Amino acid sequence: MKARITLCLICLICSPCWAEKPVFDIEIKNHLFHPSEIKIPAGTKVKLIIYNRDSTPEEFESYALNREKVIMGGRKATIFIGPLSAGTYPFFGEFNPRTAQGKVIVNEI
Amino acid sequence: MLLNSVIIILREVLEAAILVSLLLALSFSLRLGARWLLWAILPALLGIVGMATFIDTITDAFDGAGQELTNASLQILVYCFSLLIVSVSAGLIIANNKTSLLRWLMALAVVCALIREGSEIFIYVAGFSSAEELRAAVFIGSGIGASIGISLGVLILSGLHALTPARTYQVTLLLLSFIAAGMVMQATILLQQVDWLPSGKPLWNSSHLISEQSITGELLYAVFGYESTPTTIQVVIYSLSLIGIALPWLGRNSFWNSKHVD
């Protein structure tokens, strides 16, 4: 019984981290992001899965989001962003910054 | 492509060059020479090539968190080695062979920093030089970027070296403390990126004062780990890391001062 209560408590404490976060897919093709704008709700942590469909590597980078990650050609990468306040957060591909530009738009629910 | 290569390589090289220059300046002020830097080169190269080669496996490990965990570990190791360097040189850790221990610690710190920065350079150069039309621009741009970065490192080194040895020792330990604490903060961000550490809303936003993209912002980032929108956990971890590494040499300085007063 005691063990069961402990287990329930652990589940309760950890449930926020285990709860499924909204997932958003982004593709990199010809050094462009598709979609180049993603809309996410404010105050929510979301998971981005970025698929690099090019043969060359790319680095997903954002100063506003404090994120950077190398994604090899033909591979995918996962990153978490948020919780964020309403606003626009630009990101870019560091290896092709002229074309690979995008933004995360955060809206109040 | 050319200009972009210059910028990418310069950013990575500069971060490593600042740490190497500081450790060299510290080493000269303690009369330890520069030979330990040679010991670091081969393991660093092996690490860079190894990490770039197995980057796919590393990235997919730990449910997609492998790349961040590897980089965060390297940065935390740089902090640990810096902490040991400060503690040993301040006489807090008593060692039989202090000079050789310090040389090894400096070499290890440089190996970790070079793997972190170097693997990204390797991935970039290897990835884009395979396309024939880009090859010349990537190689020339990278060469220019690396040269500027190394020159700036040499400039910092000669600037520090121009001071008296006692002053060089103090200034380098101070800067090393900030750089090492900045490394821990970068590691914190990486762990937040893969949801291994909780995130939150930023504590402040100073991007309108100093943008992280400006040259000032980049330099502040390289030395102090500057972030324009830090979260609470980043600020707490940064402060604790800074206090942790500053205590040994602050203790040493007050010990010095008290002796001078007598």
Name which of A43, A57, A83 is nearest B124 (Cβ-Cβ): A57
**pLDDT at A16 exceeding the cut of 70:** no
- ∠ at Cα B19 (B179, B104), nearest 5°? 110
Q: Which long-range contacts (CB under 8 A, 24 or more apart) does B27-32 make?
A: B27/B102, B27/B103, B27/B106, B28/B161, B28/B165, B28/B168, B29/B165, B29/B166, B29/B168, B29/B169, B29/B172, B30/B89, B30/B99, B30/B102, B30/B169, B32/B99, B32/B102, B32/B103, B32/B106
Q: Are the Cβ atoms of A80 and B211 closer than 8 angstroms?
A: no
The reported pLDDT for the residue numbered A73 is 95
CA dihedral B134, A69, B112, B241 (to 10 degrees): 140
Q: Are B93 and B84 in contact (CB under 8 A)?
A: yes
Q: Are the Cβ atoms of B123 and A57 closer than 8 angstroms?
A: yes
Minimal-distance CA residue of chain A relative to B62: A78
Beta-carbon contacts below 8 Å between A and B? 77
A contacts of B63 (beta carbons < 8 Å)? 78
| A4 vs A33, more confident | A33
Rounded to 5 degrees, φ, ψ at A77 are: -140, 150
Closest-CA distance of chain B to residue A71, Å = 8
Q: At A94, list the tokens.
A: 């560091």
Q: Do β-strands A23-29 and A46-52 pair in parallel, antiparallel, or remain unpaired?
A: parallel
Average pLDDT, chain A: 88
Average pLDDT over residues A40-44: 94
Other CB atoms within 10 Å distance of the CB of residue B2: 16
Q: Are B120 and B74 in contact (CB under 8 A)?
A: no
| B133 vs A38, more confident | A38
Interface predicted TM-score (ipTM) = 0.89
Q: How far, in Å, are A14, B32, B69, B142, B231 from residue B238 at the CA level?
A: 26, 30, 18, 32, 11
Report d(CA B54, CA B147) in Å as an integer.
28
Q: Are the Cβ atoms of A67 and B193 closer than 8 angstroms?
A: yes
Rounded to 5 degrees, φ, ψ at A8 are: -60, -40
* Number of Cα atoms under 13 Å in the Cβ half of residue B225: 25
Q: Are the Cβ atoms of A63 and B213 closer than 8 angstroms?
A: yes
**pLDDT at A86 exceeding the cut of 90:** yes
Secondary structure of residue A49 in the 3-state scheme = strand
Minimal-distance CA residue of chain A relative to B196: A17
The reported pLDDT for the residue numbered B262 is 39
Secondary structure of residue A13 in the 3-state scheme = helix
Q: Tell me the percentage of chain A whose pLDDT exceeds 70.
A: 83
A contacts of B67 (beta carbons < 8 Å)? 69-70, 77
Q: Could you tell me the mean pLDDT of each successive run of 10 residues in chain B, 262 residues long?
A: 93 95 95 95 97 96 96 98 92 82 97 96 93 91 97 96 91 94 96 95 90 89 90 95 89 56 42
Testing the interface with A: which of B124, B191, B204 to mutate, by most A Cβ within 10 A?
A: B124
Report d(CA B113, CA B183) in Å as an integer.
10
The reported pLDDT for the residue numbered B211 is 92
Instruction: List residues in chain A touching B: CB distance below 8 A.
Output: 17, 21, 43, 45, 47, 56-57, 59, 63-64, 66-67, 69-73, 75, 77-80, 82-85, 94-98
The reported pLDDT for the residue numbered B261 is 44
The reported pLDDT for the residue numbered B199 is 92
Point out which residues pair with B72 in neighbouring strands.
none
The reported pLDDT for the residue numbered A17 is 52
